[in-house]
């Protein structure tokens, strides 16, 4: 009996059941977004893309820019990890010319280990900021790195030299948020 009562209470309090409540919540979130956006450079794995959308939703990030990404929001792995967040997030495909224009008004900061990168805890973001994440195998492309005002990395203490791209985003975003 307690389980049934809990389920009924939970179902009644779910904002997705009440469209007015959902619209109020979405309006509040839209008006109070974090001044951080994400640029995804060549992300190919649907699970990574879905996880990144989930992180962006959870941290109320402003926008997701997709550059040379393999995006198909109908694929099972994307849907399973994104959990419909693409319905509530602002995102768009972008080309290099648009990105160059964007770099004149916003600070681009790559999450990438380079010869000049700084540990992420030492970075101070200049808002508005676009955090740049690269391809799972090759990292951030040189053409995009050239547009970045700074690069940060997550210090690795083990044998492996990198983290999953979505995991890295989660660590960095929640540090700054």
Q: In the predicted model, what is the mean pLDDT of the chain?
A: 85
- Find the mean pLDDT for residues 125-136: 94
Report pLDDT for 11. 42
Report pLDDT for 133. 98
Q: Could you report the per-residue pLDDT of 17-49, keeping only the tens digit for each?
A: 555 687 787 777 777 778 999 999 999 998 899
Q: Select the more confidently predicted residue: 5 or 74.
A: 74
pTM of the predicted model as reported, rounded to 2 decimal places: 0.82
Report pLDDT for 122. 97
Show the domains of the chain with their CATH numbers: 19-176 (3.40.1280.10)
Count of C-beta atoms within a 10 Å radius of residue 11:
10
């Amino acid at each position: 009996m307690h389980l049934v009562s809990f389920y009924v209470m939970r179902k009644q309090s779910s904002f997705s059941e009440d469209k007015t409540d959902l619209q109020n919540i979405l309006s509040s979130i839209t008006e109070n977004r974090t001044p951080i956006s994400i640029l995804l450079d060549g992300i190919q794995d649907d699970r990574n893309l879905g996880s990144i959308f989930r992180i962006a939703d959870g941290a109320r990030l402003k926008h997701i820019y997709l550059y040379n990404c393999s995006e198909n929001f109908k694929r099972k792995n994307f849907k399973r990890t994104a959990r419909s967040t693409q319905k509530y997030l602002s995102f768009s495909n972008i080309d290099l010319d648009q990105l160059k224009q964007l770099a004149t008004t916003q600070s681009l900061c790559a999450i990438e280990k380079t010869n000049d990168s700084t540990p992420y805890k030492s970075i101070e973001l200049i808002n508005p900021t676009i955090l740049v994440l690269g391809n799972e195998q090759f990292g951030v492309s040189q053409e995009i790195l050239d547009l970045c005002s700074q690069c940060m990395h997550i210090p690795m203490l083990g044998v492996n030299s990198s983290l999953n791209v979505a995991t890295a985003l989660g660590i960095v975003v929640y540090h700054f948020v």
